[in-house]
Amino acid sequence: MRDMSTPRTAVPVAALAAACLLAGCEAIPAIEDPGATDAAPGVPGDGRAASPLDNPEGTRPGLAALSSGADEKKARELIGKVATKGRGPRTGYDRDEFGYAWMDTADGVPLARNGCDTRNDLLKRDGQKVAFRKGSDCVVVSMTLADPYTGKEIAWKKADAAEVQIDHVIPLSYAWQLGAARWNESKRRQLANDTLNLLPVDGSANSAKRDSGPASWLPPSKGVRCSYAVRFAQVALKYELPVTTADKETMLEQCGG
């Protein structure tokens, strides 16, 4: 989904939703950041949401909360390995630098070249009660999503597609400013379509996030914040991306550091 760096203005969401779907944007601006809650992160009815510590490739659904001190210790150790660097300018950034949105041909990541675009792969991975377009085993037209960011259950239909957006855990603009501007096109395409870096989430929460790092935005559901920090670190380590010092400190804090 496309990163947005300009200040929020009062822009009708519906007018942007269609463009968002076509462009694969990371966020629709002008939606206020939801207040933090103590709600447990969304877990599908069969309890299949995976802990990020048990899901290093991101091929399993959801983002389950870490439930023990031992897991939090492992989380801090993982986050501690992430390098830090100042965030550079956004000069030259464009979503197309990471390939067209939701391409199935980004080699080197799970689910590539399976005949289904990345967005639908993610909806199938995390959705419950998934229904497909007639004659297709790819295009999802309805499902139920247990949203990890807000803890709420979303009954989603393709007619209201922007209600569920695919979040790049490390936003593409953030990655550009921390080093991806110097990557080759193949590596940027991998980051944009890697299951490890992608989560279907509540559209409003994703819109509020925009291209923020953890120091500026965390999931409203407090119970999932350590897991979110772990996933952010996993992506950073896989792609040898540093994060800002403030972001790393915030990540450690979410896991008791």
CA dist 250 and 52 (Å) reads 18
Six token digits for residue 9: 């203005």
- Give the whole-angstrom CA distance, residue 127 versus residue 121: 10
Cα-to-chain-centroid distance, residue 35:
19
Please compute the mean of the pLDDT values over residues 186-195 and round it to a whole number. Answer: 98
Evaluate if residue 2 carries a pLDDT over 90: no
User: Residue 248 — φ and ψ, nearest 5°?
Assistant: -65, -40
Side chain identity at 216, as an amino acid letter? Answer: S
Dist. CA 5–CA 219, nearest whole Å: 19
Question: pTM of the prediction?
Answer: 0.83
- Res 156 pLDDT > 60: yes
Name residues whose C-beta falls within 8 Å of residue 247's C-beta, 6 or more positions apart in sequence.
Answer: 213, 214, 215, 232
Average pLDDT, the chain: 87
C-alpha span between 254 and 236 (Å, rounded):
17
d(CA 33, CA 204): 8
The predicted-structure confidence for 51-79, as pLDDT tens digits, reads as follows 999 999 999 999 999 989 999 999 999 99
Q: Model confidence at 171, in pLDDT bands (50, 70, 90)?
A: very high
pLDDT tens by residue, 100-119: 999 999 999 999 999 999 99
pLDDT digits (tens, 9 = 90+) for 222-240: 999 999 999 999 999 999 9
DSSP the chain: -----SPP----HHHHHHHHHHHT-S--SS-PPPPPB-PPPP--TT--PPPGGG-TTS-S-S-PPP-SHHHHHHHHHHHHT--B------TT--GGGG-STT-S--TTSTTTTSSS-HHHHHHHHH-EEEEE-TT-SS-EEEEEEE-TTT--EEEEEGGGGGGEEEEESS-HHHHHHTTGGGS-HHHHHHHHH-GGGEEEEEHHHHHHHTT--TTT---SBGGGHHHHHHHHHHHHHHTT--B-HHHHHHHHHHTT-
Residue 153, phi then psi, degrees to nearest 5:
-95, 130
Q: Please report the pLDDT score of residue 48 as a whole number.
A: 76
**How many C-beta atoms lie closer than 10 Å to residue 185's C-beta?**
11
pLDDT tens-digit readout, 31-57: 334 355 554 443 433 457 999 999 999
The letter for the amino acid at 46 is D
Give the start-to-end residue ranges of the domains of the chain. Answer: 38-254
Residue 67 confidence (pLDDT)? 84
